[in-house]
Amino acid sequence: MSVKPIQAAVTVPHGGSQQITATRNPATPNGITLIGRFLAVSAIAGVVAAAAAYLSTLAAVPVWAMFMGWVAYFTRGHSARDGLVNYLCLALGLLIGFAAAAALAVLGPVLAAFTLPIVVFSVGVLVVSLRALPALSNIPSYFLGVISVFAAHAAPTLEAFAELCAASALGASAAWFVSAVQAKAARRA
């Protein structure tokens, strides 16, 4: 049996092009090719991301905040345990961000132009120092939480904290689901 290659030219940034050749391997289980698996993994992520974005709008939480949770899930490890730790670091980062927002409001009238640099310095020292906690030493997730507070322009209230926690929890859950489904699909292929 002769295997005919499928060829496609792909344009890459900066005017170059790259030749991709794929063949259907009759020995591949279920007839799934490498490109087929690649596209399946991408499609799984796209479908789940779209569903999570839709659920975010139904829940009236910011879609961008949902994606912060998604990104946080993948910052360190891909297991459910790692994802939970990553989410906890993001949630703690939200608390730090709200504390920073409160400090800005209180110290602003007193320290004027020096308020922001002093608060940012304090947050930076605190977050980077958290690397000393072995189980919770995920600096990027802490900063994702802090960034989320400032991106939301949220007042430091329990309601705002709950909203950002819910949105990022939805994103982290969606990322876990994508990771689990993709792993199952990879095992089947």
pLDDT one-digit tens code per residue, 81-121: 999 999 999 999 999 999 999 999 999 999 999 999 999 99
Q: CA–CA separation, 65 vs 156, rounded Å?
A: 16
Are 87 and 100 in contact, with CB atoms under 8 Å apart?
A: no
> With the CA atoms of 149, 152, 156 and 160 taken in that order, what torsion angle do they form, in degrees rounded to the nearest 10?
-110
pLDDT value for 22: 52
Q: What's the pLDDT at 186?
A: 75
Task: Return d(Cα 161, Cα 79) in angstroms, integer.
Answer: 26
Strand partners, 9: 19
Q: What is the DSSP letter of 135?
A: G
Report whether 96 contacts 126 (CB < 8 A): yes
Helix residue ranges, H only, the chain? 34-58, 63-73, 80-111, 115-129, 139-152, 158-188
Q: Could you report the per-residue pLDDT of 29-77, keeping only the tens digit for each?
A: 555 677 888 888 899 999 999 999 999 999 999 999 999 999 999 999 8
In tens, the pLDDT along 151-176 reads 999 999 999 999 999 999 999 999 99
